[in-house]
Amino acid sequence: MITAYHRPKTLDEALTLLAQPNILPLGGGTLLSRPTSDSVEVADLQALGLDTLTKTGNTLELGASLTLQALLESEHFPPPLKTAIKLEAPLNIRNAATVAGTLVACDGRSTFAGMLLAMDAKITLNSKQSPEETLNIGDFLPLREQVRGKLITKIVIPLNVKLAFESVARTPTDKPIVCAALAQWNSGRTRLALGGYGKSPMLAMDGTETEGVDASSSDAVLRSAQTAARNAFHEATDEWASADYRMDVAATLAKRCLESLNQDQ
């Protein structure tokens, strides 16, 4: 239950408020608006100008308060990432949910977090004690519960990568039982992230091939991706699926992702 509401006008004012243990940041409100018996105070971030989207060279900088729907509608956003956002939440939620809030609240079935993990997104945090620090998303996700008092201000993703996304779910619009997100750089570096299970998406593979090698059609990369996909889910049994099922499906989805990159060339 929200017991007090603050609306800071500057980032410094917001960080001062968030340094207090009982005050949480309020972005889109999709998480804090849920019924709870806990009493919290909130610092509304609307006045801080953190809802920007800026393309700089080969990167896209997402302000922390940018909504998922605004991101989806951006002309700079690659189609596989748009597919992942549509599966993340329905339209009404996308109009309110922010990119930072989605990452903070995500679980292993988050298609948006899975795509950003594959892309090796960078998360910038600010606090009164540490004016600015940048973490790879793979380092941030396991530490989400330890960043209280810190505020995500921006997320930076690369645009000079080829992307693919595949998923399996009960229905076309349901959160996935298994999903695979793959990013590949011109250098041959290939990152495979898997979702559908656990507390956050998992990075299954981050490999680099020799410069100039067509990594997307390499049998070695395919074998590595499929093996990594199987290994990532070897204990992934829950009420939705068995580990054996997820291992087989993940290997198939990894193959489809690589085939998709080949078709786009």
**Neighbouring residues of 40: CB distance < 8 A, sequence distance ≥ 6:** 1, 2, 3, 22, 23, 24, 32
Task: Tell me if domain 51-106+120-158 and domain 161-264 are identical in fold.
Answer: no
Fold that domain 51-106+120-158 belongs to in CATH: 3.30.465
Q: Kindly indicate whether the domain formed by 161-264 is annotated with CATH number 3.10.20.30.
A: no
Domain range annotation of the chain: 2-43, 51-106+120-158, 161-264
Nearest to 163 by CA among 208, 221, 117: 117
pLDDT digits (tens, 9 = 90+) for 21-69: 888 888 876 665 555 557 788 888 988 999 999 999 999 999 999 999 9
pLDDT digits (tens, 9 = 90+) for 224-257: 999 999 999 999 999 999 999 999 999 999 999 9
Q: Is the pTM of this model over 0.75?
A: yes
